[in-house]
A and B are shown apart, each in its own frame.
Chain A
Amino acid sequence: MPDDVYLLYIMHNVGAINSNRALSIKEISRWASMEEQGVEENLKRLMENGYAEVNMDSGTKKYFITVDGIRKILSIYS
């Protein structure tokens, strides 16, 4: 599984599927066991493709996956 898809998979499974449940880079890094820099680079790619979005929460950037991102991940198991 490519790194960006793996990240999407982790974010989906831990519940970051809307803006209320968005996660910081630090939290995603911990869940995915991936360096923060790697998380940031992959998130950038996911956002460019419309699979993830970012919002600001008390000055911290928090990320969640979009409906297209959810569909991309669920396609693996259906």
Chain B
Amino acid sequence: MLTWEYPPRIVGGISRHCEGLARELVRMGHTVHIVTLEFPGAPPYEERNGVKIHRVPIELGHPNFIVWTLLFNHFMEKKVADISKHEKFDIIHAHDWLVAPVGIISKHYLRIPLISTIHSTEVGRAQGLYSPDSFLIDGFEWWLTYESKRVIVTSYAMKSELEQHFRLPREKVDVAPNGIDVSKYEINVDRDNVKRRLGIDPSERIVLFIGRLVPQKGVEYLIMAAPKIFERHPETRIIVVGNGWIKDRLQGLAYSTGYPHRIMFLGFLSDQDLTELTMSSDVLVIPSVYEPFGIVALEGMAAGVPVVASNVGGLAEIIEHDRTGFLAYKESPDSIAWGVNKILSDPGYAHWLVQNAKRKVYEMYSWKAVARRTVEVYEGAFRE
């Protein structure tokens, strides 16, 4: 399995997807090698939960990101060639455009099927192709799907997007959703203590955002909704967890609402702290403008937190409005505020959403189900 991020290198959802899938594939009796990039403090090789993880040092840099990507692909290619001297692979599975070159070269070198998972597209992330870098990335994405025997996506919205944008045949694209480790949330959390650690009074309520601080996540719409939430529920805090290149802009926007002290930016949190904070929150908001899947929604649902999410992409497939969560209009602070206020004002409604959501996550989004579906795709590619 080829991926540019694998824990503890966590940038977006790819890292957790690869970890969950690899661990479950090993449980099913398969051997899984992960070839990924180095990260400060992580060993160059380790076995975790039976998964063999190779972290490749990037021995050469370049100021241009695309060139840097090609360079690290070269070092990953060398690692794959090295491992393949003593290990016979059946399938190469590449995750997203960043590892397209190593995936494609390894496929031809090893003469085995290449499967790719496209977690999101440049045209979706950037809401169009407006820069030379975007055109290049779009080209890499197309190249990877072209060279792949089968392409996996995590939602039907993404399947449709790929079929239209890259003109892929329908039968080449399979849907295997993201999964979640529900056992992570089967713990007791002292909510008052979690709040005190953050300097929040236990009586206050938490509206939580988790994700990268980039335009596609739509965090500004939650911040713009803040005054309408605080007017109805003054005892509430909005907590933003994550990092990204628009963080300064968002902090400026939070200041301009007149409630900067009630909107907290916590940066990146450890897994343990994030789980405890999620379980201590009253509403989880996912205001994305583009979301191929939305694994954070599953995490909120499993943690027993009512979810307010934009009615876009994969979120609209995971969440049933007024049954397992609240679907807000895209790019609408008013709609977000309406959903948050409804949940905060009506504990019975919040409880109803949580119960339904938990049931759905347990039934449909276990890693076992995702791994089984992925293996079906592998076997199909192997047979063809």
Contacts and interface: CB of A to CB of B under 8 A. Distances in A.
Q: Do A and B come from one complex?
A: yes
Interface of A: 1-2, 5, 9-10, 13-15, 17-18, 31-32, 50, 67-68, 70-78
B248 A2 contact: yes
B146 interface: no
Nearest to A71: B243
A14 B63 contact: yes
Contact of B244 (A15, A32, A50, A75): A75
Given A15-B58, A17-B40, A68-B268, A75 B212 contact: yes
Contact of A68 (B137, B214, B243): B243
A76 B61 contact: no
Nearest to B120: A78
B65 A77 contact: yes
Interface of B: 5, 10-12, 14, 39-41, 58, 60-65, 67-68, 96, 98, 137, 212-214, 243-245, 247-248, 267-268
17 contacts: A13-B63, A13-B68, A15-B60, A17-B40, A31-B63, A67-B268, A71-B243, A71-B268, A73-B245, A74-B5, A74-B11, A75-B12, A75-B213, A75-B243, A76-B214, A77-B98, A78-B5
B380 to A, nearest CB: 28
Given A71-B268, A76-B214, A78-B5, A14 B243 contact: no
A75 B244 CA distance: 5
Secondary structure dominating the interface of B: loop
A22 to B, nearest CB: 12
Contacts of B98: 77-78
Contacts of B63: 10, 13-14, 31-32
B40 A14 contact: no
A68 B11 contact: no
B267 A75 contact: no
Given A68-B268, A78-B5, 5 more contacts: A67-B39, A71-B268, A75-B214, A76-B244, A77-B98
Given A1-B245, A75-B212, A75-B245, A68 B65 contact: no
Contacts of A2: 248
Contacts of B40: 17-18, 67, 70
B61 A13 contact: yes
B61 A14 contact: yes
A2 to B, nearest CB: 7
Contacts of A67: 39-41, 268
B14 A78 contact: yes
A68 B98 CA distance: 20
A49 to B, nearest CB: 8
A2 B247 CA distance: 12
B11 A13 contact: no
A5 B68 CA distance: 17
B316 to A, nearest CB: 22
Nearest to A14: B61
Q: Which of A10, A13, A71, A77 has the most CB of B within 10 A?
A: A77
A78 B14 CA distance: 9
A67 B63 CA distance: 18
